[in-house]
Amino acid sequence: MEQYYSCKLDNLEQLKIYTSDKVRWLDISNDFPLIKKYYKIVSNSEINESDFSSDEWKVAALFENDEIAAFAGVLYMTDKNWEIGAVSTQPLYQNKGYATILCSFVAKYILENGKQATCNTKIENSPMKKIMEKIGMVVQ
C-alpha cells in the first residue's frame, strides 16, 4: 500500500511567495496545443482536451522559450480546502525552482479565495515534499 505525505497551509501569512512574470493561468481552449506538447514530453502519453475541460480544476504554467516548462493545478476539493496537484516540470527545466514558483502561485490563489491549501504526495516523492516545505506548508 502506498503511503503519502499530507501537506497543508492555512493562511497567506504562512506562505513563502516565489514569483515570476513567466507564470500564468492556462486557457484550455487556446493553450491546449501547448499542453498536449508538454504532456507528451513529461509523460510520453497522449491527452485529449476533454481531460482538461472541467470545472473541478484550474491549471497554471511557467513558460520558457514559448513552451510550458512547468505545470501545476488547483483541484477544487471541498468548500474548505483546495488541493495543489498535477505538479511537473520538463526534464530540461528541472532544478531551476520552477515547480516552487508555480506551487507558490497556486497556493496564493487558493488562500486568496479563503480556502486551505492542501497537497498529498507519495512518501518517495522527496522533491515535492521539499517544495511544499519551502513554500511554508506543514508536512505530516
Q: Tell me: the pLDDT tens digits for 24-74?
A: 999 988 999 999 999 999 998 888 887 766 677 899 999 999 999 999 999
Return the C-alpha torsion angle 8, 107, 15, 116, nearest 10: -40
| Range 6-18 average pLDDT | 96
| pLDDT for residue 16 is more than 70 | yes
The reported pLDDT for the residue numbered 53 is 65
Of the chain, the percentage scoring pLDDT greater than 90 comes to: 85
The reported pLDDT for the residue numbered 45 is 87
Question: Looking at the domain 4-139, which fold is it?
Answer: Aminopeptidase (3.40.630)
The reported pLDDT for the residue numbered 1 is 82
Angle between helical axes of 98-112 and 126-134 (0-180°, round to 10) = 50
